[in-house]
Amino acid sequence: MVEGCISRSMPRGGGKYWRLAYRFGGKQKTLALGVYPDVSLKKARERREEARALLAQGIDPSEHKKKAKAVAAAVAEEKTRTFEAVAREWFETKTLNLTAAYRKQLRSRLENHIFPFIGDIPFSALEPAHILEAVRHTQSRGAIEMAHRLTQLAGKICRYARIVGYVKFDVAAGLHEALPPIPKDNHHATITDPAEIGRLLLAIDDYHGDPITRHALQILPYVFVRSVELRGAAWSEIDLAKSEWTIPAGRMKMRRPHVVPLARQVVNLFESLRDYSGQTLLAFPSPFSMTRCLSNMGLLNALRRMGYGKGEMTVHGFRGMASTLLNEQGYRPDVIEAQLAHGERDSVRRAYNHALYLDERRRMMQEWADYLDGLRESAGRSAESSKP
């Protein structure tokens, strides 16, 4: 290994370069030290001495320079790979099969509640305290459940970053333990006491507001679909002759078509609903526009006018009501989950559950409807007997 000398050369493209000729591993090599006159002779000599020091340690200056450039490029890339950049990459990669409404909701949570606080932090520098600081802005407003949801969302992004190799560890792991528990009365409050359910059904039947809103609330306990799935129902999805309602994949949270067997009580309610919306595309149009569906707030306000407060009953609570009582009554969990259209982790079961359990679900839905009618009748008799 023999060191050479420093020289100044002019390449074909113009400009003059300081170069160091040297031998390494028995091969003649040249190291560019900079462009003249941007790099002075003094600076070129300093770089030559640095190269000689590397040679003395058995290090090839050219390879060392390449590695240094690669490290610098990696550092620069890490600085541009912020939490927001990775989150948007995760969003475009992992949410394509979700409904447009759900994707919009996730994007809104990121842009309004997370990016303003940690969006510009390089992901490699992200720490658990950064995420906690972001979600605690939401927690401080009393939105405990939303703070938990934001933590879960950040966790999905952090796991994605680890899997694709951006970081080695999931810094969001276990963060929910640092948050206060979700108050029970704020977590989709529902009614599961049979006598109270009967009284709720009577209150819905006696609702004197918008008839389409009343029909929506009368149907919801029987079918216990998500609010957005019911409110957006089109008459073309409902086959009353077959007693089936097929919700297309585009309107489902998990982007899979969902069959809802209709008990005879539900068929009768849909027949009654035709008197109010049978000439429109939507089964549950808004009172203010026949081309827009009924709002979730419209259903919620109706419950509030019936006297059911925030901690007593929510629109989503009809799903919790059905899930709790059907499980208590001994129906197979797989059948209940299939009817709730919850996500199925197993891809084979996910593909065939809707067909595999359809007969069982049809029977369960009719028995559930009959059970609800029994609760309503019992509540009615109790109300009559209590009259003076």
Active-site annotation, residues: 226, 253, 316, 319, 342, 352
How big is the CA angle at 176 (ends 173 and 181), to the nearest 5 degrees? 160
SS3 letters across the chain: CCEEEEEEECCCCCCEEEEEEEEECCEEEEEEEEEECCCCHHHHHHHHHHHHHHHHCCCCHHHHHHHHHHHHHHHHHHHHCEHHHHHHHHHHHHCCCCCHHHHHHHHHHHHHHHHHHHCCCEHHHCCHHHHHHHHHHHHCCCCHHHHHHHHHHHHHHHHHHHHCCCCCCCCCCCHHHHCCCCCHHHCCCCCCCHHHHHHHHHHHHCCCCCHHHHHHHHHHHHHCCCHHHHHCCEHHHEECCCCEEEECHHHCCCCCCEEEECCHHHHHHHHHHHHHHCCCCECCEECCEEEEECCHHHHHHHHHHCCCCCCCCCCCHHHHHHHHHHHHCCCCHHHHHHHHCCCCCCHHHHHHHHHHCHHHHHHHHHHHHHHHHHHHHHHHHHHHHCCC
Q: How far apart are CA 172 and CA 148, in angstroms?
A: 12
Q: Which of 35, 36, 31, 10 is nearest to 20 (CA)?
A: 31
